[in-house]
Amino acid sequence: MTDKELVLKAIDAMKNSYSPYSNFKVGAALLTENGTVYTGCNIENVAFSPTVCAERVAFFKAISENEKSFLKIAVVGGKNGIISSSTPPCGVCRQVMREFCSDDFEILIVRENENYDKVLLKDLLPHSFKPEILAK
């Protein structure tokens, strides 16, 4: 699975976004160590706070299937599904990523024309509160 293929899966997942309140569609594609891809889209709710981001949907799908090891995630979003700028993961999603991934987990943040920036989790969430701290 190339990075580009993962990006295309995230773009495809964006089409399933349920976002009638923001009209901001987000897709994510999470690659496991054994090569399986779990996709997610944002799912909004009339009460707003039950809304979940695409990244967490992808992670929770994977965790619920007993996946434990993750390599990278591609994230893409845009108003009405039009990718005009990058959609970096929100703070809550960064914290969820740190629960299941190391500091070197890769995040492909998609820009226009299927281009992307590759960043590491440690750069998105420095000085993280991580499972290793409670394990001491």
Cβ atoms of 99 and 69 within 8 Å: the answer is no
* Residue 125 interacts with ligand THU (CB under 6 A): yes or no: no
What DSSP assignment string belongs to 51-120?
Answer: -B-HHHHHHHHHHHTT---EEEEEEEEEETT---S--PPPHHHHHHHHHHS-TT-EEEEE-GGG-EEEEE
Please say if 55 is a catalytic residue: yes
Give least dist CB 133 to ligand THU, A.
24
The CA distances from residue 94 to 15, 16, 130, in Å, are 23, 22, 11
Of 22-30, 65-73, 104-112, 116-124, which part binds ligand THU (CB under 6 A)?
A: 22-30
Q: Is 22 in the site for ligand THU (CB under 6 A)?
A: yes
93 binds ligand THU (CB under 6 A): yes
Q: Pick from 13, 30, 89, 105 the residue near ligand THU by CB under 6 A.
A: 89
Q: Which of 32, 51, 95, 128 binds ligand THU (CB under 6 A)?
A: 51
What is the binding site for ligand THU (CB under 6 A)? 19, 22, 24, 26, 42, 44, 51, 53-55, 87, 89-90, 93
